Chains A and B, each alone.
Chain A
Amino acid sequence: MSIETRDPLQHPEVQLARGRHYVGAYVVSLLLTGGPLWLVVRHLGTPRRLMIVVIASAAALTLVQGYFWLRLDFSRTQRWMTAALVLFIPLVVMTIGLTAWMFATLYARTMIPTLMHAPAFGH
């Protein structure tokens, strides 16, 4: 666990910078945000399908940026950071997901019925 580095510039976390990875992730990031944008703005698909595309591209971007930019992998240097992130993902999902689920059922019971099925994201 202990790495003694005389020259801090030789520290593994400094040395893991990779110019090519950075540029590659940059290009992919722009494609994965520009692509869905184009589809959405042009209405190329039903809202449900487009939603799936948006979710999928966000998930893919998470992996791309996480691996190529933040270098989150299971190497000796980075594994605790990766582990911490992996442990936090369920908490994020639960915070948002369970809250959304709770309020979906709550709104169905407490809000005015005629407005029930019309979210603000639309019409």
Chain B
Amino acid sequence: MSQDAHVDSATAVLWDRGGTKHDMIATRTFGFWLYLLSDAMIVSSLFASYLVLGHRVNAAAGPSAGDVVHPIAAFWGTVLLFSAILAYGGAMVGLKRGDRRAVLAGLGGAFVLGAGFLFVEGRDFAELALHGMVPERSGYLSAFYTLVLYHGAHLVFGLLWIAVMMAQVARQGFTANVIYRLLNLKLFWFFQGFVWIYVFSFVYLTGALHVH
């Protein structure tokens, strides 16, 4: 091919001399980001199901979106979740300085606020269940719970991960491995905010649109 003509075979470099080392941290975070995108496809499938099962027929003469969603409670959850993300952001700013105490404080804050979000969500669901609005009631409720709880399950997993990272930061300090995990966890934790934007907008706000 024509491009090969530019390389002179007499002087060409045949073997790498620079001792090229690939960037471990960037490779790990990129792979984790790909995982998050594949997870986003699961969320998309759940959103597609939620949309399809949002038809009147799928409510099976039971409660529909307007009866199920409590946008104000969800907003308090939103405040807690975004605050948890901000707290993690604080940990990242601390990490930039190499400040172990700030990182631990940020992680701790994210843990508490994330748990708070789950508490608000759990209370909301407990109230729904009290009124017989359980996933087994109808196709619509199945889709609603599955979508919202899929996000919630991620937060539970995130809390576990935060706890593990707090232990690692405290024990091992800032090794390359700990740092790439903190960066991955950042992507994971921030991504839950991303997903929540859509859950809040298209489940809670849209659901409440038609309540009179």
Chief secondary structure at chain B's binding surface: helix
Q: State the CA gap A81–B59 with chains docked (Å).
A: 39
Q: Give B121-163 as 1s and 0s: 1 = Cβ < 8 Å from A's Cβ atoms.
A: 0000000000000000000100000000000000000000000
Chain A minimum-CB-distance residue to B95:
A14
Once the chains bind, are A37 and B75 in contact (CB under 8 Å)?
Answer: yes
Q: Is B37 an interface residue (CB 8 A)?
A: yes
Q: Give A33-72 as 1s and 0s: 1 = Cβ < 8 Å from B's Cβ atoms.
A: 1101100110100010011001101100110011001100
Once the chains bind, are B64 and A2 in contact (CB under 8 Å)?
Answer: no
Q: State the CA gap A88–B52 with chains docked (Å).
A: 22
CB distance from B210 to the nearest CB of A (A): 3
Residues of chain B contacted by A58 (CB below 8 angstroms): 197-198, 201-202
Identify which of residues 51-106 in chain A touch chain B, using a CB-to-CB cut-off of 8 Å: 51, 54-55, 57-58, 61-62, 65-66, 69-70, 77, 80-81, 84-85, 88, 91-92, 95-96, 99-100, 103
CB distance from B44 to the nearest CB of A (A): 5
Residues of chain B contacted by A34 (CB below 8 angstroms): 75
Q: Is B2 an interface residue (CB 8 A)?
A: no
Once the chains bind, are A8 and B197 in contact (CB under 8 Å)?
Answer: no
B44 in complex: contacting residue of A5, A92, A122, CB < 8 Å = A92
Q: State the CA gap A8–B183 with chains docked (Å).
A: 12
CB distance from B142 to the nearest CB of A (A): 12
Q: State the CA gap A84–B40 with chains docked (Å).
A: 12
A26 in complex: contacting residue of B85, B96, B179, B180, CB < 8 Å = B85
Once the chains bind, are A54 and B206 in contact (CB under 8 Å)?
Answer: yes
Residues of chain A contacted by B116 (CB below 8 angstroms): none
Identify which of residues 1-38 in chain B touch chain A, using a CB-to-CB cut-off of 8 Å: 20-23, 25-26, 29-30, 33-34, 37
Q: Is B207 an interface residue (CB 8 A)?
A: yes
Residues of chain A contacted by B201 (CB below 8 angstroms): 33, 36, 54-55, 57-58, 61
Once the chains bind, are A103 and B187 in contact (CB under 8 Å)?
Answer: no
CB distance from B104 to the nearest CB of A (A): 16
CB distance from A107 to the nearest CB of B (A): 6
Q: Given A33-B200, A69-B85, A96-B51 in contact, is the A120-B58 Cβ separation under 8 Å?
A: yes
